[in-house]
Chain A
Amino acid sequence: MILNQFLILAALLFCMGVYGLLVRRNAVMVLLSVELMLAAVNINLVALEAFWQTSEALGQILAVFIITIAAAEVGIGLAIILLIFRNRRSANVDELNLMRW
């Protein structure tokens, strides 16, 4: 089985996620970037699981967990963004310095 394609794809996805996380101004896009990074991790887990053929299918189990957590995280994150948007009429991350010292 060829592992490298999957790993390269995951690395590309991860880098795209990091880039989006650091650069995008819109909070929703930042959240989407985080999802990309999680997706990259999931690809890695499933690919390595398939590569090493472990009997317990730990990688797939872990991937399912991550998907669940990601769903919950997005739910909470979108709710927060929605509330901030309602309050400020903006979802621009640069204008959000509420959590300053």
Chain B
Amino acid sequence: MKFGVIIFPGSNCDHDALYALTHNLGQRATEIWHESEELGDADAVFVPGGFSYGDYLRCGAIARFSPVIRSLRRFADSGGLVIGVCNGFQILCEAGLLDGALIRNQDLRFVCRTVELVPGTLDSAFTSACQPDRPLRIPVAHGEGCFFADEATLDRIEAEDRVAFRYSGNNPNGSSRNIAGVLSEGRNVLGMMPHPERACDTAVGSTDGIAVFRSMIAAAGNGLRHAD
């Protein structure tokens, strides 16, 4: 399977994603520059963490206007698999590919720690390889990771079974209903604050992130890929 990893000037988890996808998962992965109008022959797209264009206005607020996001929107609309992690999640929300918004952490401090996640659903291209009763240990590292949406939207996300992950026990940022990751209405776009690409290697503490990518690889193998 071939992943495309988008690189904004301020991306800083791009190398980690490329390393995890190629070394830890044995997949192919290619870099996609933010000015690119094309996504090439990627089967799935990874929008990595970082600070896209500095994020001085609001995280992801500028990135949503970038050329690469225009092509990403077309890719997603045609059913392509897109995973946005951390800043990638923020960008996907700003771009309207996902519901909700990410605001300052409740305690107003950046937080980097390993948290426990439980899958909210196994019925998705990102969680099918997870086990319902086994929490995943995956790190978070963000200052603006508090997932926020109005009550009606939250109700709808839950009613449509679109909560991909919830924080189990310790909620590190005050996210509504402990939501750590959400799916798009088409279920082919995932945004999550925790970093699965940082949890693919025993040397750095956890391999629980692998389940997310294994799910994607399985979905792609089953023919869920974009049309063109």
Do A and B bind? no
B interface with A by C-beta (< 8 Å): none
A interface with B by C-beta (< 8 Å): none
